[in-house]
């Protein structure tokens, strides 16, 4: 931690700061420059990050030097973490191909879609039973009925299933039916929910919030890890910008950016990021080329009848075509789709 | 709702669209232009908003005409809603002056701060017992102990109290101690939580999410209203932009923007928006001048020792000075601080 | 300047860095912490800012301590700069009330508008002769004919005039007719243009770019100041965000933010920022309350016939009403409209 | 164009609107819905786009239906445009591999870099002679001396050269030395400069502004095309967002987004977008996988001594490694690097 003093800071401001630092059991180190005096702090920076140093009189700015997350960091664990969801491995060269409809609507539709994505090569089935919808008047999901359908069809096609959990009170219920929890973008900083899934031992797919930095995303992962659950897969799904011709702006640089700082796997969701089927295949290819550990794609057999986000779903035939391309790309890059 | 067809859309695409619209019980209206055919839809647009029209073959774009919220809209209720929190009125010319520390730390500190802000003219006391912190290693609040302290000190100084609720499971508990719920920015789209406070009859202070549009904010209010609780006060507290010298960018235009579209009161929180005490007084004055129904300011008697967000708190003396300015401004504008 | 080394940086990396710093005539200062080694650099930081320190082997990050601008800074000049445009003073408690149409369309229209805004209390007349339009098919301005009309009507009503210059080749021409140059948001980083107006001795109204930080704005001002022209007035006019119900998002915190760092005056343009006449009056009031040194408002006598940006113009009667409010507000705050 | 009337619009408002539309030589078409009356306008929408329809009394909103650009649009020209720069083809399956230092510093350094990138497979050499620098105190480029060095070294290695032009007065000079003009992000809406290069017959590399939408970028291309120069290559180089761990946020979805709407080629610049050599190779691979017509990479033989943007440059050896990967990827996708 570096504390930069204001040009007008007095000697007694400085002494007050030094005293404080020593009270916290740390060692200060003063450098007097031509224009500014700075104080370096030696010792456990984590202790300091919780302190309101910027409020001390005479302080101009406080510059942290260490990252604020620990368990999620590459410094803490050098090798790539590989997450196992059923028999599917995510990370370390193995790609998750997650596909399915936005929402579970009924048994027949999900059955049709699951058969198609399985045949195309998907290895994890997705489908929402609890839907976070911007408007209270939109379809909100089938709840437990949807969870049961998802679970049964996953069994039928031998695919592990992932579904969103929105409320800490649903964690136990969802845990009974799903192989992987999804935390949606709107809940990335729902800290009570993060803690609750952190207390299970089931893999969690944690989606980046629409205005979350990469650091925020890793801090949210830290919430789950710090409760004891080490099974976290991150997901880039677009951030909000001024560009209005796509739903969000997919930040693919988050993929190598996360991989440099963290050992956790990261996948990409081009469906929610773009909201446009004409852009999804290009962005899925780009994601794999950027080094993502998988892609998450919405597929629906009748997008015009879907109860949620139909317009952004690929048709099964489009998905099959995309999977052919992704397989060749994965092979070129030395990756495996299990 | 206006449906614009692609230039290459066929006659059978058009017929399919018309058939669909009629199935939903609505009347289509076709106009053929030089470059595009468009279909206007007459009838209850709300029915259509949930439909995946953009996924129909031949559709280029879908342009909604009505706003997606209803109970929150000015069309639904013309006159300004006034919310009563204890004896304090918010809206319709009455200003809420909410002040207090970020977190309740202990009885003595809150007592000191409450005495000071009460003397300065604040009419509602704030303080967090459950703190949504980006890092799991930061202070997370005192929980029920904090709620009790807040409640007791509110009684002592005859001020209603507002505090954040983060988890649907806490709603009952918080309801016992607080006069107003606060939904924080990170939970603006925590829809289960919105529904839960919507089932109480207690006023709710709903903060705008960091990447939420004004429309999103009003849709979140709609969640609460549609459960039966009509007591919603909105709060602008800054949005995320590229500007990095302030914590967020305060969007004061949200104040008249909301007032044009909705009957609900809206207040402004310059403390979280800027994160900088040197900017807070100017932004508080600007908020009142822009027509806000109140301001929400963090005050701490010893910012350098605060357990949460100390660096952004005003000192009691700074708050008193600001309140003198705000009172004169309110008077000039014909507003009342109750 | 603080240089933070990677945990894996070697002794020879460190020696290489120290040697480099000494070659630049500066003194390094090494602190070894528990997790990181840092190097403080003492001496003229300006020299270092141009150096690619981050590319040195072993460097994790480089943290600047001083601001990158000098002539524009409050450290360089403590007292507020007051700019004189004709007989109008801007800054130091005097407010500029700039008003007029987006574009000069013809003599009669400008004459009508100028008479109205003068009567309402505006003290500077604006009007564009060269218009930067997003589309090449939109009206591009009258050029020199427009400049002459603007100049003549300014004389007639005894108001100094401000108009945009877009091209370094126009500076001489515009200089002949206008009392103040305007640099538009799209040209805030057109550095050749900044230098060219910096070589004149005429006041410059420098608008913030749509994605410029406050620091970028002050650096652009520095370009003008460093050429010898000290007459710069800054203008906040909104930045681009995800909010799509307003044209841009007005960042009023830029007003106190600039005033803390710089001695230059800053005014606010709510017309371009919001693009909505229903929001302009509130934002103009808020700007004055935030401490702005003036407001810049588009006024047109027949917005529906304006050749440029008609829908965002106030009518003369709306402007007169707004000026009545702003005068009372200025008086309350101890400011003068000259 | 669709005009939506306010619920309170009167019959005389409607008649006034219809009269106006007919005056412009267009045909209105009225639909009365349950909640709103709408007016469709049939005929040349381009005429209307310049009109201030939103300022007409009784109008709630105006919804354009056609895109505001024409010559740049896919509707105007169905097949992909291929741009020829010297013997290098860009577009239609041929990839531009543009590489070189940020700035031309002297003959020897550029010679070393050019030899290396040529050997690695680059086909166009870049280097700046005029540098748009945020700070007036940074290195501003060698001017004509730099242009001559760039030209001579391009000849020596048989590579066409591209360099930035910042000022309309430099167009003639740069035209003498360069094979392709570059318009930088800060000048994307410097309309006089766009027109000036539009009057030459030399290819133009047009970079997207940091806060420009894809539509804005295509409108800027339209400025060049409408002057008669059809040789425009677009370049995505990142937009400004709240993410602060990268210089900008690379918006790769702009690649398929542009290709859907326009016939012009588009390349990607991951160097400026990320500002981080550790992210550049992943983003270059992703760009090619997304369908970009080339990549633009900064390479420097001694980044720590570069006079401009050294920290973001790849070393020649890193570039050579990247080119090996890009060649294999291009081959897989059926693309050619000429």
**pLDDT of the residue at C315:** 96
**pLDDT of the residue at B249:** 98
**pLDDT of the residue at C282:** 98
Q: How far is it, in rounded angstroms, from Cα D267 to Cα D293?
A: 5
Note the pLDDT tens digit of each residue in C290-326.
Answer: 999 999 999 999 888 888 777 889 999 999 999 999 9
Distance from CA of D294 to the nearest CA of A (A): 14
Question: What's the number of CA atoms in the CB half-sphere (13 Å) around residue B264?
Answer: 34
**pLDDT of the residue at C45:** 65
D44, pLDDT greater than 70: no
Task: Write out the DSSP string of D285-297.
Answer: HHHHHHT-SEEEE
Residue intervals of chain C classified under CATH 3.30.70.1140 are: 2-63
Chain C CB within 8 Å of residue A331 CB: no
Do residues D38 and D73 make contact, with C-beta atoms less than 8 angstroms apart? Answer: no
Q: How far is it, in rounded angstroms, from Cα B337 to Cα B324?
A: 12
Ranges of residues in chain A with a pLDDT under 70 are 43-51
Q: How far is it, in rounded angstroms, from Cα C253 to Cα B253?
A: 12
D65, pLDDT greater than 80: no
**pLDDT of the residue at C222:** 95
Q: Which tokens in the block code for residue D263?
A: 């016939």
Note the pLDDT tens digit of each residue in D214-260.
Answer: 999 999 999 999 999 999 999 999 999 999 999 999 999 999 999 99
**pLDDT of the residue at C211:** 94
D46, pLDDT greater than 70: no
- Can you tell me the mean pLDDT for D253-272? 97
Handedness of CA C176, C178, C181, C187 (dihedral sign): negative
Q: How far is it, in rounded angstroms, from Cα D291 to Cα B28?
A: 39
Mutate to test the interface with A, among D286, D288, D332 (most CBs of A within 10 A): D286
User: Which chains form contacts with chain B, at 3 or more CB pairs under 8 Å?
Assistant: A, C, D
Pick from A211, A214, A291: CB nearest D282: A291
- Give the bridge partners for B220, in sequence order: none
- The better pLDDT of the pair C252, D48 is held by C252
Handedness of CA D65, D69, D71, D75 (dihedral sign): negative
- Whole-number CA gyration radius for chain B: 23
Do residues C95 and C335 make contact, with C-beta atoms less than 8 angstroms apart? Answer: yes
Residues 284-303 of C with CB under 8 A from D: 303
Query: Inter-chain contact A65–C33, Cβ cutoff 8 Å?
Result: yes
User: Which chains form contacts with chain C, at 3 or more CB pairs under 8 Å?
Assistant: A, B, D
Pick from A36, A75, A242: CB nearest C7: A75
**pLDDT of the residue at A134:** 81
Q: What are the E-state strand segments in A2-158?
A: 2-5, 27-32, 37-42, 59-63, 83-85, 88-90, 94-100, 124-126
Cβ partners under 8 Å of residue A23, min gap 6: none
Q: Which tokens in the block code for residue C303?
A: 């917005």
- Can you tell me the mean pLDDT for C254-268? 98
Our separate counts of H helices and E strands in chain B read: 11, 15
Do residues C263 and C234 make contact, with C-beta atoms less than 8 angstroms apart? Answer: no
Chain A CB within 8 Å of residue C78 CB: no
How many CB atoms are closer than 10 A to CB D171? Answer: 19
Distance from CA of B249 to the nearest CA of C (A): 6
Q: How far is it, in rounded angstroms, from Cα A177 to Cα A170?
A: 11
**pLDDT of the residue at A49:** 64
Distance from CA of D326 to the nearest CA of A (A): 10
Pick from A251, A290, A328: CB nearest D282: A290
Place of tokens 């805030």: C188
User: C38 contacts in A (CB within 8 Å)?
Assistant: 2, 40, 65
Q: How far is it, in rounded angstroms, from Cα B223 to Cα A134?
A: 9
**pLDDT of the residue at B299:** 97
Question: What's the number of CA atoms in the CB half-sphere (13 Å) around residue C314?
Answer: 28
Q: How far is it, in rounded angstroms, from Cα A113 to Cα A116?
A: 5
Note the pLDDT tens digit of each residue in D283-310.
Answer: 999 999 999 999 999 999 988 888 877 7
Task: Write out the DSSP string of C123-188.
Answer: -EEE-BSS---SSTTS----THHHHHHHHHHHHHHT--EEEE--SGGGHHHHHHH-SEEEE-GGGT
pLDDT per residue rounded down to tens, chain B (338 residues): 788 898 889 999 999 989 888 888 888 888 887 778 888 887 666 666 656 778 888 888 888 777 788 999 998 999 999 999 999 999 999 999 999 999 999 999 999 999 999 999 999 999 999 988 888 888 889 999 999 999 999 999 999 999 999 999 999 999 999 999 999 999 999 999 999 999 999 999 999 999 999 999 999 999 999 999 999 999 999 999 999 999 999 999 999 999 999 999 999 999 999 999 999 999 999 999 999 999 999 999 988 888 877 788 999 999 999 999 999 999 999 999 98
Note the pLDDT tens digit of each residue in A305-326.
Answer: 888 777 889 999 999 999 999 9
Q: Give the residue among D106, D140, D151 at the shortest CA–CA distance from D300.
A: D106
Our separate counts of H helices and E strands in chain A read: 11, 15
- Whole-number CA gyration radius for chain C: 23
Specify the 3-state DSSP secondary structure of D41.
strand
Pick from B139, B186, B226: CB nearest A136: B226
- Give the bridge partners for C337, in sequence order: C95
Long-range contacts formed by B323-331: CB under 8 A, 24+ apart = B323/B97, B323/B120, B323/B121, B323/B122, B325/B281, B325/B285, B326/B95, B326/B97, B326/B284, B326/B285, B326/B288, B326/B295, B327/B121, B328/C332, B329/B285, B329/B288, B329/B289, B329/C289, B329/C329, B329/C332, B330/B95, B330/B288
User: A52 contacts in B (CB within 8 Å)?
Assistant: 303-306, 309-311
Residue of chain A whose Cα is closest to the Cα of C42: A33
Q: Are strands D2-5 and D37-42 parallel, antiparallel or unpaired?
A: antiparallel
Chain A CB within 8 Å of residue B241 CB: no
Q: How far is it, in rounded angstroms, from Cα C164 to Cα C131?
A: 8
Pick from A46, A190, A216: CB nearest B134: A216
- Annotate B31-74 with three-state secondary structure: EECCCCEEEEEECCHHHHHCCCHHHCCCEEEEECCCCCCCCCEC
Residue intervals of chain A classified under CATH 3.20.20.70 are: 83-337
**Residue D48 banded pLDDT, cuts 50, 70, 90:** low
The pTM for the full model equals 0.93
D200, pLDDT greater than 80: yes
Handedness of CA C282, C287, C289, C293 (dihedral sign): negative
Q: Phi/psi at B294 (nearest 5 deg)?
A: 155, 170
Residue of chain A whose Cα is closest to the Cα of C63: A63
**pLDDT of the residue at D45:** 65
Q: What angle do CA C92, B321, B110 make, to 5 degrees?
A: 145
- Annotate A223-286 with three-state secondary structure: HHHHCCCCCEEEEECCECCCCCCCCCECCCCHHHHHHHHECCCEEECHHHHHCCCCCHHHHHHH
What ipTM does this complex have? Answer: 0.92
**pLDDT of the residue at C201:** 94
Q: How far is it, in rounded angstroms, from Cα A220 to Cα A15?
A: 37
D330, pLDDT greater than 70: yes
Q: How far is it, in rounded angstroms, from Cα B243 to Cα B187?
A: 23
Fold entry, domain C83-337:
TIM Barrel (3.20.20)
Note the pLDDT tens digit of each residue in C68-124.
Answer: 888 999 989 999 999 999 999 999 999 999 999 999 999 999 999 999 999 999 999
Specify the 3-state DSSP secondary structure of B188.
coil
- CATH of region B2-63, choose from 3.30.70.1140, 3.90.1150.10, 3.40.50.300, 3.40.640.10: 3.30.70.1140
Query: Inter-chain contact B305–A167, Cβ cutoff 8 Å?
Result: no
User: B32 contacts in D (CB within 8 Å)?
Assistant: 42
């Amino acid at each position: 931690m570096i504390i930069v003093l204001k040009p007008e800071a007095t000697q007694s401001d400085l002494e007050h700061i030094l005293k404080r630092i020593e009270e916290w059991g740390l060692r200060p180190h003063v450098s007097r420059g031509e224009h500014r005096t700075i104080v370096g702090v030696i010792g456990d920076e984590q202790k300091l990050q919780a302190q309101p140093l910027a409020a001390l009189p005479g302080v101009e700015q406080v510059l942290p030097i260490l990252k604020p997350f620990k368990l999620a960091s590459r410094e803490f664990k050098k090798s790539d973490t590989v997450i196992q969801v059923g028999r599917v491995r995510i990370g370390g060269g193995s790609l998750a191909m997650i596909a399915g409809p936005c929402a579970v609507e009924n048994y027949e539709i999900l059955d049709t879609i699951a058969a198609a994505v399985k045949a195309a090569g998907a290895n994890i089935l997705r489908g929402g039973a609890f839907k976070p919808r911007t408007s209270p008047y939109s379809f909100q999901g089938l709840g437990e009925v949807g969870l049961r359908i998802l679970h049964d069809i996953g069994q039928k096609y031998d695919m592990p299933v992932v579904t969103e959990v929105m409320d800490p009170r649903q964690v136990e219920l969802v845990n009974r039916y799903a192989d992987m929890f999804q935390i949606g973008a709107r809940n990335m900083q729902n800290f009570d929910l993060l803690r609750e899934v952190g207390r299970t031992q089931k893999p969690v797919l944690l989606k980046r919030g629409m205005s979350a930095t990469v650091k925020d995303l890793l801090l949210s992962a830290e919430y789950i890890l710090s409760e004891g659950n080490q099974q976290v897969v991150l997901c880039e799904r677009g951030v909000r910008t001024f560009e209005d011709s796509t739903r969000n702006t997919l930040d693919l640089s988050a993929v190598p950016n996360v991989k440099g700082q963290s050992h956790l796997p990261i996948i990409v969701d081009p469906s929610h990021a773009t909201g446009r089927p004409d852009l999804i295949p290009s962005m899925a290819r780009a994601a794999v080329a950027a080094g993502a550990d998988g892609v998450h794609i919405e597929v629906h057999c009748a997008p015009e009848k879907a109860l949620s986000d139909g317009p952004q779903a690929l048709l099964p035939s489009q998905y099959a075509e995309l999977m052919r391309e992704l397989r060749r790309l994965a092979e070129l890059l030395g990756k495996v789709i299990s």
